Amino acid sequence: MSTLAGAANAMVVVIINNVSQDFSQLNFRSVLMFALCILLYVVTKKYSLYETAATVRTAMYRSNIRISDKIRRTSLMSLETIGKTRIYTTMAENTEIVYEASRKMVNGLSSVVMIFFSFIYIAVLSMAAFWFSIAMIASAILIYIVNQKAISEGLRSAANKEGEYFNILNHIIEGFKEIKMNVKKSEDLLRNYLDKISLSTKDIKIGTENKVIANYIFIQIFFYILLGSVVFVLPQTSVVTPSIVGQITAVILFIIGPLGNVVEAIPLILKANMSLERFDNLEKLLEDSDDMKHTAADSILRHKKTFDTITLKRVTFHYPESSAKQSFTVGPIDLTIQRGEIIFIVGGNGSGKTTLLKLLTGLYYPQSGTIMVDDIAVNMSNYTYYRDLISVIFTESHVFDRLYGIDEVDETKLNDLMNMMELTEKTSYAEGKFTDIKLSTGQRKRLALIESIMEDRPAYILDEVAADQDPHFRRYFYETILKKMQNEGKTIIAATHDDKYFYTASRVLKMDYGKITGDSHHG
């Protein structure tokens, strides 16, 4: 359709040029052809733009859903390495660039076709003028390509710098409380990092934009030079009539606008190509990190609704060398968890409690050793089903606005839990979602606990859930809520510092330097 639009546009020039040679009478055939060409141009142009918009929007929708699916399938360690900033910037910024480039590309394509047919028309009028124009255009294209290569390199450098900028900006947003409390840290982040990176990005972008402008002006000037050459040089070097020169001049004037469309489209198309490269690189990175691709549909663990024991046999885990925790190792861990136990894990900060919990949940994978559910070894073929046995709340746990994954919500049970967690005056459940999740840290953890209990899993892993609660609710949590869950047959593994309530646990495990150094039985 873009090709037809370009051809129809070129035909308008031909018709106008032919009619302008004889004004003695009105040629209805030419008027009809002119009207048909305009109609064809309007219909084909509108169709090509609409279809391109619909196609690209659909493709980007599928791409975003595909990437979102791969994000949820990737391993936690890989997601932590990739980082939120890269994912957000890739998906948020680049979608509109691709769309805008596709629209420019359609306009550019029809303009290229129009220019092509216009030069065929020039060849019909004068072969000397055609070869003269082709030689000049070939020289211009060569210069343009050389300049465009430098522009592409500049765009890539700017994109890399922008990645660094957003990484630092993420530190400011995510670490807002910390930098608010430390003016020196705040100033250092802004002046020595964010400002310098932003300034460098600005300089690269201005330099690149100057090259884009220079290229654009070069093409515009080139066409004026071509026009002048046709008027001044061509009659001196070949036999052409003033009438032919006039017609060729009219064609060249007519294609200056379409050529501008082509020139404007090229930088944006290059940006879109880089955007698509970012999408592609992110997708490949996520695909390589997919920890669900080896999941076996016929796994025995898939059909287990509960367990008798979870056993860790000589399990070890160490952070990769690129991580800030490169020197830290957890294990070897030997541990057996019985169904219905309440197990507290205690230890100082950095003792390995949270890492052990991530191993127990299947979010981190042991470098050596084995996790067993009853007599079934947990491995990459059944980790998905193993995780289905466990509900988890980490220290920085996310609170969802709806009970996702629960098809039929038992609102009576939910209301009872809201009362139990003392949240009825803070939020409520209406029209399939919680009315407010902007709560205090302690209240958010209570709401996360409600969501966790509603999932009705056989095991619950809780990381410092009571840490931000008031003394009244903290006691209620240990003495009432956990005991109620235990009476319902639930297994609870909780990281805690509350030695005052150790008596409520079946066992207390002490961790130090990544190892279990104590295992004492209590209530």
E strand spans, 206-359: 309-318, 329-338, 342-346
**Three-state SS letters, 406-422:** CCCCCHHHHHHHHHHCC
- Separation between Cα atoms, residue 153 and residue 64, nearest integer Å: 27
DSSP 219: H
**SS3 (DSSP) at 30:** helix
Quick one: which H or E segment has residue 274?
helix 242-288
pLDDT above 50 for 507: yes
For residues 329 and 514, the answer to whether their CB atoms sit within 8 Å is: yes
pLDDT-derived band at 22 (thresholds 50, 70, 90) equals low
Q: Which residues contact 35 (CB under 8 A, 6 or more apart)?
A: none
From 465, 519, 510, select the one nearest 492 (Cα to Cα). Answer: 465
Domains 2-288 and 300-521 share a fold: no
Q: Count the Cβ atoms, other than its own, within 10 Å of residue 175.
A: 14
Question: Would you put residue 372 in left (φ > 0), alpha (ψ -120 to 50) or beta?
Answer: beta
pLDDT at 324: 45
β-pairing, 329-338 with 515-521?
A: unpaired
Phi/psi of residue 19, nearest 5 degrees = -65, -35
E strand spans, 245-328: 309-318
Q: Tell whether domain 300-521 is in CATH 3.40.50.300.
A: yes
pLDDT at 186: 78
For residues 360 and 523, the answer to whether their CB atoms sit within 8 Å is: no
pLDDT above 70 for 452: yes
Lowest mean pLDDT among 216-220, 306-310, 333-337, 443-447: 216-220
Give domain 2-288's CATH superfamily: ABC transporter type 1, transmembrane domain (1.20.1560.10)
- In sign, the C-alpha dihedral spanning 287, 290, 292, 293 is positive
Lowest mean pLDDT among 39-43, 106-110, 311-315: 106-110
- Separation between Cα atoms, residue 380 and residue 35, nearest integer Å: 67
Extents of the domains making up the chain? 2-288, 300-521
- In sign, the C-alpha dihedral spanning 512, 514, 518, 519 is positive
For residues 84 and 170, the answer to whether their CB atoms sit within 8 Å is: yes
Q: Which residues contact 249 (CB under 8 A, 6 or more apart)?
A: 227, 230, 231
pLDDT above 50 for 323: no
Quick one: which H or E segment has residue 521?
strand 515-521
- Give me the DSSP letters along 461-476: EEESTTTTS-HHHHHH
pLDDT above 80 for 173: no
- Separation between Cα atoms, residue 169 and residue 485, nearest integer Å: 42
Q: Is the pTM of this model over 0.85?
A: no
DSSP 133: H
From 90, 81, 33, select the one nearest 60 (Cα to Cα). Answer: 90
Greatest C-alpha distance within the chain: 112
For residues 510 and 517, the answer to whether their CB atoms sit within 8 Å is: yes
Would you mind telling me the total number of residues written for the chain in this entry?
Answer: 523
Average pLDDT over the chain reads: 83
For residues 460 and 491, the answer to whether their CB atoms sit within 8 Å is: yes
Q: What percent of the chain has pLDDT over 90?
A: 5
pLDDT tens digits for range 239-282? 777 888 888 888 877 777 787 777 778 778 887 888 888 888 88
